[in-house]
Amino acid sequence: MSSRLATVLRSIVLVLVVLVAAACSSRSKDGPATSSDKPRVAVSIFPLWDIARRVAGDGLDVVLVLPPGRSEHSYDPTPKEMAQVAKSKLGISVGLGMDGWLEKIVRGAAGTDVPIVQLGPKANPRRMTAEEVGADAAEEGEDHAKGHDDHHDDKAKHEHEHEKHEDGREHDDGDHAPKPEPKGAAKGEHDHHGHHHAHGAEDPHFWLDPVRMKSVVPELVEAFAKLDPKGAEGYRARGKAVEAELDKLHADLEARAKGWTKKTIVTFHGSMGYFAERYGLSIAAVIEPFPGKEPTARYVKDVLAAVEKTKPAALFSEPQLDRRPAQVIADQGKLPLFELDPIGGSAGAETYEKLFLKNADVLDKALK
């Protein structure tokens, strides 16, 4: 065999090896292996994706849109992430103004007729309290909105909406005011690109209450059965199994919460209201009322005043956002700083249940 022929054969073998390896690695880090012969469902954030994939079983190709470690409040998809949803037949989102980007990229990539199921409005959403949003932040949001009523029409202003810190966490450029509602949009369904939660607004973070998460499982079952009628029986059976697992998680968390002798905390932003309400905690203040935007000096002063008044057990940062504002307030308020993860999908929080148990471990240390 000539050396030239041998070289050609080696090249062919190498190409085959690469192709086989690519096929074997189709199981992405964000979810299970994809299959072109199954209807694809695009889900906005990890907690919803983990529940949805378990209800779907092998009947559907359920893909996660928001990569773990990224903030749901300031997400701009890459071309690769948009390509992932190009064949979607259904979208699953939080709604309540949280993840309008899911509808935009699914319908932009897969077609305007793709149905989007918003789970938040069906979960008996709670209202945000003044402590969770901050009076100073509310005033700032109103002032900011007055000067930017046409911002949602100016695409150029969004091109550099957020940048990354050296540690890879998200940091927005400060455009966190509520945007005007597009005509025909449901109340609260404007783009949540750094959206500020106003006092009294519906809280979109419903997934942080397992009881409410259980309440929307039938919505997933119904949507999946409509998409794939032949698999309806399986979706119903798996939905019941998931509901039982969520019941167990809630019972475990209730038992853990009985051991938390300290009840008052300061959270990073208004994400933990459902959890606090369900398990008997009180939120004295939040560190960043505009997720990703460092609080003003006046707001920090207000938080420190709330700390002095309520004597919280601890402050909590979040892994998706810059820790520094929390560290500043913890240092000035002489309080311990811990971390609670509202989204999961990373090491130690690879399932919905593991996310909660990881957070419960943190709360055990902070509140006992």
On whether the pTM is more than 0.85, the answer is no
Which residues partner with 62 through β-bridges?
41
Task: Please check whether the domain covering 28-124+207-241 is classified as CATH 3.30.470.20.
Answer: no
Q: What is the Cα–Cα distance from 130 to 136, expressed in whole angstroms?
A: 10
Residue 340 has pLDDT above 90, yes or no: yes
pLDDT of residue 197: 53
Q: Please give the residue that has the higher pLDDT: either 19 or 165.
A: 165
pLDDT digits (tens, 9 = 90+) for 246-273: 999 999 999 999 999 999 999 999 999 9
- CATH 3.40.50.1980 placement within the chain: 28-124+207-241, 256-367
Across the beta sheet with 88-93, what order do the strands follow?
A: 61-64, 40-43, 88-93, 116-118
**Element of type H or E holding 191:** none
Q: What is the Cα–Cα distance from 136 to 269, expressed in whole angstroms?
A: 14
pLDDT digits (tens, 9 = 90+) for 170-210: 433 333 333 333 333 333 333 333 445 565 789 999 999 99
Give the phi and the psi of residue 170 in degrees, each rounded to 5: -80, 145
Residue 235 has pLDDT above 70, yes or no: yes
Extract the tokens encoding 242: 């998931």
Q: CA-CA distances (angstroms) from residue 221 to 63, 93, 257, 348?
A: 17, 15, 31, 28
Extract the tokens encoding 251: 């019972």
Residues 6+ apart with CB under 8 A from 2: none
Q: What is the Cα–Cα distance from 170 to 191, expressed in whole angstroms?
A: 18
Provide the percentage of residues in the chain whose pLDDT is more than 70.
Answer: 72
Residues 6+ apart with CB under 8 A from 231: 57, 59, 60, 224, 225
Instruction: Give helix 297-310 / helix 324-333 axis angle, nearest 10°.
Output: 50
Residue 42 has pLDDT above 70, yes or no: yes
Residue 337 has pLDDT above 80, yes or no: yes
Q: What is the Cα–Cα distance from 152 to 178, expressed in whole angstroms?
A: 10
Q: At 249, which amino acid appears?
A: L
Residue 297 has pLDDT above 70, yes or no: yes
Q: What is the Cα–Cα distance from 94 to 350, expressed in whole angstroms?
A: 19
What is the pLDDT averaged over residues 204-217? 98
pLDDT digits (tens, 9 = 90+) for 61-103: 999 999 988 877 778 888 888 888 999 999 999 999 999 999 9
224, 56 contact by CB (below 8 A): yes
C-alpha radius of gyration, the chain, whole number: 22
In this predicted structure, which of 24-38, 114-128, 184-198, 265-279 has the lowest mean pLDDT? 184-198
Average pLDDT, the chain: 80
For 256-367, the fitting CATH number among 2.30.30.40, 3.40.50.1980, 3.90.170.10, 1.10.3720.10 is 3.40.50.1980
DSSP string, 313-344: SEEEE-TTB-SHHHHHHHHHHT--EEE--SS-
